[in-house]
Amino acid sequence: PPCTLPPPTMSSSRKKLLIGNWKCNGTLDENAKRTDGMIEGLKAVELKNLEVFVAPTMMHLGQVAAKAKGSKLGVCAQNVSANPCGAFTGEVSATQLRDAGIPWAIAGHSERRQSEKMQTFESNKIVALKVAASIDASLSVCVCVGETEAERKENKTTTVIEEQLAAVLPVVEDWSKFAVAYEPLWAIGTGNTATKEQAQEVHAHIRKYVAGAVGEEVAAGLRICYGGSVKPKNSGELIAMKDIDGFLVGGASLKADSYLAIVKSMV
């Protein structure tokens, strides 16, 4: 038989995506040092097929965006309002984020979907409204989905994730501005990480579900990131999986050296 090259994997055409979620961390001084370290470190890395972002607090978005301007480091918001500008105290709208030059936002993070400490219980409907508002304002949005430890033990992982996706997929009008992050709640900030096989299994299911709900072409181009105690020591084996297209990183993004090590494992 003639020699034939294997077909390219679906992931080969998808640009990798890395978002460092700083959560409620950082002072002006700490952010300046961290951002400078990342910008300097990225100069030596050829990113090729990778986009790198950090998500500071709303308070510090302007500071970090100003520092990162013209560099290889992008800036992302940790949250976005489901509402437009108006009488919504404490909110920041998608239009305001775009006006400030912020290109990306996170929506539906587990700490906002269900957090006893924060008393935030965002429904699938609210997350869908945030996605719609973002895309309408030309703001790219990364939607978080994932199951609790109890739901995994009850074999409800795929059911929960499908319900979360079913709410948001119908409102996406521009697929180039949409990404998904799978974050198993039992692996966030716990030190427990899904094995590469566990993560790949869920990512593959997400892609298959999107293919059935929207279409094969959209599914093939959709970037699905993994979030859940990602560190330099496990990022390399995770990113090698066929359906893992990037990461939503927490603690490891608070130090320039560890974040840069994750970057290098992805290029």
Q: Catalytic residue numbers?
A: 109, 183
Please give the distance of CA 228 from its chain centroid, rounded to a whole number: 11
Short-list 127, 120, 229, CA closest to 178: 127
Which residue, chain included where needed, has tokens 């319900």?
163
Q: Which two tokens stand for residue 261?
A: 């090590």
Please give the distance of CA 40 from its chain centroid, rounded to a whole number: 23
Q: Which two tokens stand for residue 210?
A: 């999107």
Q: State which amino acid sits at residue 129.
A: L
The dihedral region occupied by 155, where left means phi > 0, alpha psi between -120 and 50, and beta the remainder, is: left
